[in-house]
Amino acid sequence: MSNIEQTLSIIKPDAVERNLSEKIKEIFLKNKLKILESKKIKLSVEEASEFYKVHQTKPFYNNLCKYLSSGPIIAMILEGEDAILKNRKLMGATDPKKADENTIRKMYGLSIDKNSVHGSDSPDNAKKEIDFFFNN
Ligand code: ADP
Ligand code: MG
């Protein structure tokens, strides 16, 4: 059975700053993830805090929100077969040092916080995160 999904991807400030957006988008396209929407924006720290509020009890929350709002990001809706899991696999582990070869974070991530990309981790979160960026 086919399972076409949509997921939210973000190219984070460290990767936008290093002009990696086109290279990262090519990886999605090569792996049969369509980019339905794409926009470059800069979030306020309040908006970033809202986006990442599932992490509000974590010790790294404040830095995380400051970081996501530190520069322009590119938010995208990706669509394809098993898009949520497929994107997570293409991204690699949260810590670039632990990510598999040829994953985006292994190739481009600088550190656990500056790890170049975000991707939704479940259908519920994908829907919420797509709404956050594209349905207002
Ligand atoms: P992922 O982005 O792989 O889904 P999480 O949802 O666990 O990872 O965390 C969200 C983001 O918070 C990560 O992408 C990373 O930027 C940051 N982060 C996670 N764990 C840490 C940590 N231990 N120290 C600093 N930043 C972290
Ligand atoms: Mg996550």
Domain residue ranges of the chain, discontinuous segments joined by +: 4-134
Contacts of 131 (CB under 8 A, 6+ apart): none
Q: pLDDT class for 33, splitting at 50, 70, 90?
A: very high
Q: What is the mean pLDDT of residues 49-65?
A: 98
pLDDT at 6 over 80: yes
- Which residues hold their Cβ within 5 A of ligand 2, which is an ion? 121
The CATH class that applies to domain 4-134 reads alpha beta
Q: How far is the CA of 16 from the centre of ligand 1 (A)?
A: 18
pLDDT at 136 over 70: no
Q: Which of 64, 69, 111, 114 to mutate to test the pocket of ligand 1 (most atoms within 8 A of CB)?
A: 64
What φ, ψ does residue 116 adopt, rounded to 5°?
A: 75, -35
> Tell me: the pLDDT tens digits for 99-120?
999 999 999 999 999 999 999 9
Q: What is the mean pLDDT of residues 23-35?
A: 98
User: How confident is the model at residue 135, as a pLDDT?
Assistant: 86
Strand-strand pairing, 34-41 and 117-119: unpaired
Q: Give the nearest ligand 1 atom to 67 CA.
A: 16
Q: Give the nearest ligand 1 atom to 113 CA.
A: 16
pTM: 0.97
Query: Under a CB-based contact definition with an 8 Å cutoff, are residues 21 and 122 in contact?
Result: no
Residues with a catalytic annotation lie at: 118
Q: What is the mean pLDDT of residues 16-38?
A: 98
Q: What is the mean pLDDT of residues 87-106?
A: 98
> Tell me: the pLDDT tens digits for 11-22?
999 999 999 999
Residues in the ligand 1 pocket, defined by CB under 6 Å: 55, 60, 64, 94, 112-113, 115, 118, 121
SS3 22: helix
